[in-house]
Chains A and B, each alone.
Chain A
């Protein structure tokens, strides 16, 4: 706050970052808008578009509803059975899907629910003729519930665990049965969280790309995001892609506004896993009920994960690892993930610092206020523009310049960096704010600035959140298919793209092996990226 040159440089760098983001998004938007004038607007909002929109909203609503209805008894069972052995592992299992690339999960779900999957094999063995088809609405819902039920259950569990411990002594004392306990104590705690949880899940499902791409079937089960991709990649129909992009932005915009004003997204409070002493839930019936729901949840989430591990391990991993195609994909993915994570973390850190500097004076000038506001808004504004829409814009922008594939890595890095921005911001902003409050004046009064402050004060204290954000951003980029799908080509193959093409060409064993490796790497990065979130950072205040 107090070194003039240093501050001017930080502000300039923050402004450059913000400008870069706005330019990148703005150019994509201009490309989309400019092209749309060419096409005739008449048949744009045709039956196809209407159907796609309807399906997007339908599957998102159903996914949300089922996820939440499933999550309530699971969360309640986890809360009520507070000390059974292995409970912590159930909680960890519930955290796993969040770190899993969608494509890897899709593969696991196909192993279980697919034509040759566990379930249909079992059904056929039992003499039932009609197999369940995982492709279409059923598969999409299954996949969305696979990802979002555990998320909802964990968020609800945090809510229930926030109930004061005295309640669990009072309620049996008053003679409340399981039903009354749920109605008067647990449900009110869950109900307050529901709008936020539902909004979040609806948003995730409405913008879901990879799962719908792999599990959806044709125009009957396609979302807007996938339709944009198909319009560009297969039909090369820019006007349609543009109309769809506009629709998508309008939809996510409306959802974001709704979320912001109606239901703020719930704090991603981690469950501490600490046991709360509860005196209910010990009766035979309650315990049976809880066990059934827990078993269902564990099977629903765990079996596809186990299937990925099992068939992945069965694949010829040694041969796969020696393949040049794998090497190329690995190198490409690693490069893209490292670069996009670096870009994302550095830009976000600079913008947070610049925002703080802009608001530091007693009476910040209007320009400074606007600058800070723009930085703050840009981090959530990114959510408005799904990767596929950004990709579509740049695809159209670059097509006249020749082979789009040449620019692919740069565009994918930029899109991945932007995708990670809101998450990186959420990790870094509170950590940097606390750090500034604790050290800013002290460092200034001791005359510690520039490189010395970075080395002795900032880096040691912020290393942990920075690495967390970095590893989370890397996991996002490594698992991403949305940006790569549009630009993928012979030269531009990432691990998810390789996995996708192996799946498409029915080389199932290869796909399983790749999925296992990719899934493991992403899980490890996510665990690193979220580890220790629940711990207060610096112990007692000094």
Chain B
């Protein structure tokens, strides 16, 4: 069944100095890398999908449902940011638990769920720790555990590896790949690294100056030489 996970039609976001325009369709169950230079509109694209920004015009649909007027917490979306994914004053278990109940009302079943998710990301027994005592990679894995317990069909990753060293990057990449296999969710991932694109993505959304200028399968994308921005990104010049 190849339904559409995400579709943007004529979505227009106006800033003081620029107007961004998004059109795209992402089939369900894919991992899509979102790439482009800084300021090309990647973060705004995510903000529109997650509901942090309201577009002036256009249609945002997730799994066929219109998202207009839906608050971020009501959308079938989980977001993992570059950093500040955890509330620093709450312990790891509470941070994951908030993904199940925003009021933090957790029964034994929910607690077990939290424990299992932590074990799945390799952090069994970390429930009582506070985020500032964890490494950057560990904090991102806690965020991933929370995304798991939420079971939202669309996962947005906003440069989740940016603060990690190379070893941890590949570890996180593998973990995300495995989870994707298990959950069958759709993942959009902003990245600056061609390596992430090559190793994880099925396709690439490429943005330049506020427009989606390419949406190609990975093999096709890596062969492209016609756009200067893509050449710069791939290091082909």
Contacts and interface: CB of A to CB of B under 8 A. Distances in A.
Residue of A2, A362, A446, A540 with most partner-chain B CB within 10 A: A446
B102 A447 contact: yes
Interface stretch (B48-56, B58-66, B171-179, B210-218): B48-56
Given A442-B81, A460-B90, A542-B84, A3 B71 contact: yes
B84 A445 contact: no
A542 B132 contact: yes
Contacts of A457: 87
Contacts of A327: none
B86 A363 contact: no
Contact of B79 (A363, A445, A540): A445
Contact of B89 (A2, A4, A445, A538): A538
A441 interface: yes
B185 interface: no
Nearest to B77: A445
Contact of A542 (B14, B77, B103, B131): B131
Nearest to A444: B72
Interface string A98-136: 000000000000000000000000000000000000000
Nearest to B135: A540
A447 B74 contact: yes
Contact of A362 (B15, B50, B51, B84): B15
Contacts of B29: none
A86 interface: no
A441 B81 contact: yes
B139 interface: yes
Contacts of A452: 102-104
Contact of A446 (B14, B52, B84, B99): B99
A35 interface: no
Contacts of A446: 73, 98-99, 102, 150
Contacts of A449: 73, 102
Given A2-B51, A2-B72, A447-B72, A542 B102 contact: no
B7 interface: no
Q: Provide the main secondary structure of the chain B interface.
A: loop
Contacts of A3: 71
A141 B16 CA distance: 54
A272 interface: no
Contacts of B51: 2, 444-445
A399 B200 CA distance: 78
Interface string B116-152: 0000000000000001101000010000000000100
A372 to B, nearest CB: 16
B85 interface: yes
Nearest to A542: B131
A277 interface: no
Residue of B14, B78, B84, B131 with most partner-chain A CB within 10 A: B84
Nearest to A460: B89
Interface in B65-120: 71-74, 77-79, 81, 83-90, 94, 98-99, 102-104
Given A363-B14, A445-B78, A438 B102 contact: no
Contacts of B207: none
A447 to B, nearest CB: 2
Contacts of B205: none
Residues of A in contact with B, size category: 20 to 34
A542 B87 CA distance: 7
Nearest to B44: A362
Contact of A444 (B52, B103, B104, B150): B52
Contacts of B99: 446
B13 interface: yes
A456 interface: yes
Residue of B15, B98, B134 with most partner-chain A CB within 10 A: B98
B151 to A, nearest CB: 13
B60 to A, nearest CB: 15
A426 B22 CA distance: 41
Interface in A447-498: 447-449, 452, 456-457, 460-461
Interface string B141-167: 000000000100000000000000000
Nearest to B75: A445
Contacts of B104: 452, 456
A481 to B, nearest CB: 40
B84 A541 contact: yes
Contacts of A362: 13-16, 53
A38 interface: no
Given A2-B73, A460-B89, A542-B131, 5 more contacts: A441-B79, A444-B73, A445-B73, A447-B73, A452-B102
Interface of B: 13-16, 50-53, 71-74, 77-79, 81, 83-90, 94, 98-99, 102-104, 131-132, 134, 139, 150
24 contacts: A1-B52, A2-B51, A2-B73, A362-B14, A363-B15, A437-B84, A438-B84, A438-B88, A441-B50, A441-B81, A444-B52, A444-B73, A445-B73, A445-B78, A445-B79, A456-B87, A456-B104, A460-B90, A461-B87, A461-B88, A539-B132, A541-B83, A541-B88, A542-B86
